[in-house]
Structure 1
Amino acid sequence: FVSQAIIRTETEHSPEITTQLMAMAEPRKLRGHKATATCCISSRDRPGLVVTSGEDGCVCWFDLRCKDVQFTIDVGTEPVSSLCFKTGKEDILYASHGNEIKSFDVPMLSAGSWKPLESYSYNKDEVNQVVCNGRSSFLASADDSGDVKIIDVGQKCLYKTLRAGHTSICSSVQFIPWRPWEVITGGLDAKLVLWDFSKGRSQKIIDFSSDNSGQCLNPAFVHSIAVPEMDMVGKLDKICAVARGDGIVDLINIESELSRKGASKGGGSSSSSRNNVAKRVCLDYSVGGHKAAVSCVAFSQFQEKGRFLISGGNDKTVKIWDCVRCLDSDNNDNRDLLHLNIDLSKKVNWLCTNQSDSENLVVCDTSRVVKPQSQPLFHLFFLLLIATVSSSSPLDPKQLKALKILTATKDPCNNHTNHSSTTITCDDASPFRRVTSLSFASCSSSLSLPSKTLKPLSTSLLSLSFLNCPSLSPPKHLPISLRSFSAVSSFHSHHGLSGVYLARLVNLTHLSIFSVPVSASGLYVVLGNMRNITSLTISSANLPGKIPKAFHSNLTYIDLSNNILTGPLRPSITLLTDLKSLNLSRNSLSGEIPNKIGDLTLLKNLSLASNRFSGPVPSSVSSLSQLTHLDLSGNRLNGVVPSFFSGMKSLRHLNLADNSFHGVLPFNESFIKNLEFFQVRGNSGLCYNNTVLSWKLNLGIAPCDKYGLPLSSPPQKQKEEEEEEEDDYDDDDDGDGDGDGDKKEEKHGSTNKVVLGVAIALSSLVFFIVFLILLAKWSLLLK
């Protein structure tokens, strides 16, 4: 399958440059699905990680640093329509297929066998989109019946059903980050609905059906909605982007709409709406917009997050819009709104962006191939991409002969059929092409790699990967030219890999070992001579030993999770000043967290969960200004919870659960609500000030008494309030709390009547007995 892209800019370039930019370029293709790709999402914590779904019922896990699929999950026989990560814990993935939503724990991969953690079947019709809220407490799923189900993930039950908002298919749903109890939905009834899901009621309905501003004849169906993340709101304001079936992309100020009473009409022009940024911006064909239905929209994750809005449509184009200029009420130049146009060969189903410096736009079209696009700076750097022309030179004869054992095709460099477990990538050298990458997936038990196969490749092979090859023997001799080596769920029947074996790969920059036993006395045996290593993953490998006394300074990514490492976290790791991600969770590390951890000023992700660390949280953690994810759960940390966390502006995920913290939680409600994930359960000495924090936050700790100590049980007033609120929280499929509430009120009313009747009867009986006694005494006196 060949797909070509024409890349154009709509900014002021000379005719010569524009002609060059319209040259043909072939985007890289990610192969893994056997049918049309339906959805794609990208990781916020791990740049370059992309997960896709398809009509083949599978989910594919890609690392853009590698060519081939990393994992494949068989979700079911029906098409997978939507995907989302669990916010703050991206090892948990939610996938919808049919009317069911399944959750998967990715690290639990075992030899190609996937079992869902949970399965939710509350939707009556096919689910079109599933999303997770910022605190990972709720899922929202929109289906073909027009209903939206709100699922309580913690309680594993249905929380509410939002109905009567849409009269046709509900195609899209999003949580509103700055309004934690509200969602926004769109449907094929051309309506946009804002909901308060705690009450199960709609707050605002915007109807686009009467808008005639679109160029195409299709109705103004709402196909997709995008809402900016909290760290984008300062730049974009509290808006949402709407992809419409008539070719229009709308930017709508949510707060402005909520302040206007009654239902709204969706009309408006691109010029008039921009004169008032508080209302709407309409991006239509007059400003270079789509000429057919817009299928999806997304805000950019790369560089200046949220600066660009990306839309894809049935006109086989992807549009890059400059949001800042679109929302600038002083901007009257329509030509500046569309920053870039990309012409594709097929209609766009879905797209997503990621934080990579290149290949930061991923597109799912109507083929089974997913195409990452490189959008480095959106200007003349595209010339470098477009100037790349595929070579038609033949493969080196010696390498061709060596590869006959792996493939019978005449051109192994184009061996991309779904029936092959081997993927081969070649360079464009002349006069002969050479193999640069080999990837094996789901290997047959008969496959072997003799030395005579790899030896002719040793001068050019840069990347070698194995996925789900448990019966395969590791190659006896690996080319030392390798820059990347990956093994996932492989070599099990041959006891995995030895540390000495891996140590020979002295030129590696990327090493990734997952669910493969590594026999070594310690990590230092593996890393000893890898002076160029930048990314290190050895996870679920039963790796013993201690943290090395020294690391090579180029490391930017370390994942040593789920091993049997022991001893302290040595200060040597704090010398890695370029480190951006450190995951040492699920080991047996002990001692105190080194105070110099604050020297890792570029660190964005730090996970030390499920170890035996003790002592207080070092004060130097406050110096980690770029830290977004911090997980210290499941340790023996003590002391008070530091108040400096509330001053860490980038922090989005904070997990302090299951430790020995004590005292009063020093955070206010606004800080906790701004976090996407927050957990402090399992700290018996920790409590919260109920004059500062509401019990509704469900923190999992007790309120404090007047001495700053945890109360053994919540106050009576709080219990009464909880009982009063119970009717807002039901798992009835109707999602309507009113019915149950009326029943409860009737039940309480009937109970009160019974009690009153019993009390009156008892009082009457007592009075009658007293009367008889007095009467008897009076009779005696008369005698």
Structure 2
Amino acid sequence: MTTLSLSGGHTGSVLCVDASPDGSYIASGAENGEICLWKRDGTLVHKLVQDQNDCTSVFLSRVKENILYSAVGDTVYVYDLLNFQNPIDTFKYNEEEINQIQLGQNETFLAACDDSGQVKIINLQEKNIFKTLRRKHTNICSSVCFHPRKPWDIFTGGMDCNLIHWDFSRPKCKNQFNMQELQDTPLEMDAYMVNPPFIHHLTASPDGKFLAVALENGQVSLFDMSRKNIFECFTLLAHAHGASQVHFISDSRLVSGGNDSVIALWDINNPNELADVCENLPSNGHPQPLQQRDVNYTEVCKLGQITLTSKINWLKPFVCAGENFIAVANQSSSLTVLPLNLL
């Protein structure tokens, strides 16, 4: 299959996208509260306008058939796709605009991070607020990610450059990292690399080993989650401008998208080099500056890339009929679906 354009649904920039587990449906959200549901072949199935606030995040349930979660302004709306015009549940717990919603592995809890720096954890079974994660982010909380193997662990990242590892059952901060302190700019890189490492997006590998962090300085930082205290083990020098998205497509492969309009494919399954990185940790468990090592690792890991026409707002890899695809939302009013083998 060649590139497919999903058009005719949105009137403004598409801000977010998700795909159903089997790839049969794609959901997208855009400016001015527009939410669209598409068939895999590009047919527009449903469209609604919830309100005049932007739809900043959508999530198609992996557990409950025909359920869509969306964030519009400061509110989470839940829809049954068989009756798409009116929400079946509404959760208005956030104080400011929500930047991302994410659901845990069994979809008991939904996390919604917002511009106030807070994260609301909603119990979807009891339909009430479970916990609020607050006071750790001093600026916008832009992304949230559940640990795939530890049901009470969650990660948040923000425009204050802080990555925070929580036990949200208490709630308690387990680890906290300031990416400005961890990041070390290779001397040969362009001036863009001195941009502050704001955190735009987080993703965890399905096996729970790695956490990937997309940063405004164009880098994608990889953290090892296999130990009690997570640590940054290496960095991919990924994009010529901010890295806006990063997603695992398997335990060792991931895709990143950036404000340079580039989508890149990576394979981090290089055990010898990764072991060499981890063996050189000092006794305090934190890595030394990885300038040359990061450059080498980028060269080893990068499998390919493709350049589109505008910067990437959101990516969603998915599998359909045994083939890998990526749904892409950029600054246009259309979605693009790419076969992974184009990268």
Normalising by structure 2, what TM-score? 0.86
* Counterpart for residue 314 of structure 2: 350
Which of 248, 257, 260 is the equivalent residue of 1:315? 260
* Counterpart for residue 337 of structure 2: 372
Partners of 1:325 and 1:59 in 2: CA distance: 40
> Is 1:338 aligned to residue 302 of structure 2?
yes
On the 8 A contact 1:94/1:103 being kept in 2, the answer is: yes
Identity of aligned residues (%): 29
Give secondary structure in 1 for the equivalent of 2:82: helix
| Matched AA of 1:337 | C
Partners of 1:94 and 1:299 in 2: CA distance: 21
> Is 1:74 aligned to residue 19 of structure 2?
no
Q: How much has 1:292 moved relative to structure 2?
A: 0.8
Partners of 2:225 and 2:251 in 1: CA distance: 17
On the 8 A contact 2:27/2:60 being kept in 1, the answer is: no
Give the 3 Å change call, closer, same or farther, for CA 160–117 of structure 1 in structure 2: same
Give the 3 Å change call, closer, same or farther, for CA 121–314 of structure 1 in structure 2: same
Give secondary structure in 2 for the equivalent of 1:61: strand
Partners of 1:57 and 1:259 in 2: CA distance: 40
Give secondary structure in 2 for the equivalent of 1:29: strand
Which of 116, 119, 123 is the equivalent residue of 2:94? 123
Q: Which has the larger radius of gyration?
A: 1
Q: How much has 1:47 moved relative to structure 2?
A: 2.4
Q: How much has 1:325 moved relative to structure 2?
A: 3.0
* Counterpart for residue 559 of structure 1: none
Partners of 1:338 and 1:59 in 2: CA distance: 34
| Matched AA of 1:295 | S
Partners of 1:315 and 1:337 in 2: CA distance: 19
> Is 1:57 aligned to residue 29 of structure 2?
no
Give the 3 Å change call, closer, same or farther, for CA 175–292 of structure 1 in structure 2: same
Give the 3 Å change call, closer, same or farther, for CA 29–104 of structure 1 in structure 2: same
* Counterpart for residue 229 of structure 2: 259
On the 8 A contact 1:84/1:94 being kept in 2, the answer is: yes
Partners of 1:56 and 1:376 in 2: CA distance: 34
Q: How much has 1:259 moved relative to structure 2?
A: 2.8
Q: How much has 1:136 moved relative to structure 2?
A: 1.6
Q: How much has 1:78 moved relative to structure 2?
A: 1.0
> Is 1:92 aligned to residue 67 of structure 2?
yes
* Counterpart for residue 109 of structure 2: 138
Give the 3 Å change call, closer, same or farther, for CA 367–183 of structure 1 in structure 2: same
Which of 131, 139, 151 is the equivalent residue of 1:160? 131
On the 8 A contact 2:79/2:89 being kept in 1, the answer is: yes
The runs of 5 or more residues in structure 1 that have no matched partner are 1-25, 265-278, 379-783
> Is 1:220 aligned to residue 197 of structure 2?
yes
Partners of 1:43 and 1:228 in 2: CA distance: 18
Q: Deviations over 1:576-608 (max 9, x none)?
A: xxxxxxxxxxxxxxxxxxxxxxxxxxxxxxxxx
| Matched AA of 1:55 | E
> Is 1:280 aligned to residue 233 of structure 2?
yes
Partners of 1:128 and 1:41 in 2: CA distance: 15
For residues 12-31 of structure 1, what are the structure 2 equivalents within 5 Å? 27-31=3-7
Give secondary structure in 2 for the equivalent of 1:241: strand
Q: Deviations over 1:156-182 (max 9, x none)?
A: 111111011111000000111211112
Partners of 1:126 and 1:327 in 2: CA distance: 44
On the 8 A contact 1:363/1:370 being kept in 2, the answer is: yes
Q: How much has 1:255 moved relative to structure 2?
A: 3.6
Give the 3 Å change call, closer, same or farther, for CA 374–138 of structure 1 in structure 2: same
On the 8 A contact 1:359/1:372 being kept in 2, the answer is: no
Q: How much has 1:129 moved relative to structure 2?
A: 0.4
Partners of 1:78 and 1:373 in 2: CA distance: 29
Give the 3 Å change call, closer, same or farther, for CA 315–377 of structure 1 in structure 2: closer
> Is 1:38 aligned to residue 38 of structure 2?
no
Q: How much has 1:327 moved relative to structure 2?
A: 8.0
* Counterpart for residue 286 of structure 2: none
On the 8 A contact 1:33/1:56 being kept in 2, the answer is: no
For residues 733-772 of structure 1, what are the structure 2 equivalents within 5 Å? none
Q: Deviations over 1:682-730 (max 9, x none)?
A: xxxxxxxxxxxxxxxxxxxxxxxxxxxxxxxxxxxxxxxxxxxxxxxxx
Partners of 1:56 and 1:68 in 2: CA distance: 22
Give the 3 Å change call, closer, same or farther, for CA 377–78 of structure 1 in structure 2: closer
Q: Deviations over 1:98-153 (max 9, x none)?
A: 110010011224xxxx1101111110000000111112211100000000001111
Structure in which a larger fraction of residues adopt helix: 1
Partners of 1:327 and 1:35 in 2: CA distance: 47
On the 8 A contact 2:240/2:260 being kept in 1, the answer is: yes
Which of 248, 252, 264 is the equivalent residue of 1:299? 248
On the 8 A contact 1:48/1:354 being kept in 2, the answer is: no
Q: How much has 1:56 moved relative to structure 2?
A: 3.2
Give secondary structure in 1 for the equivalent of 2:257: strand
Partners of 2:61 and 2:25 in 1: CA distance: 15
Partners of 2:265 and 2:79 in 1: CA distance: 33
Q: How much has 1:80 moved relative to structure 2?
A: 0.2
**Please, which moves more after superposition, 306-315 or 31-40?**
306-315
Q: How much has 1:29 moved relative to structure 2?
A: 1.3
Which of 46, 58, 80 is the equivalent residue of 1:105? 80
| Matched AA of 1:311 | S
Higher relative contact order (CA 8 A, sep 6+): 2
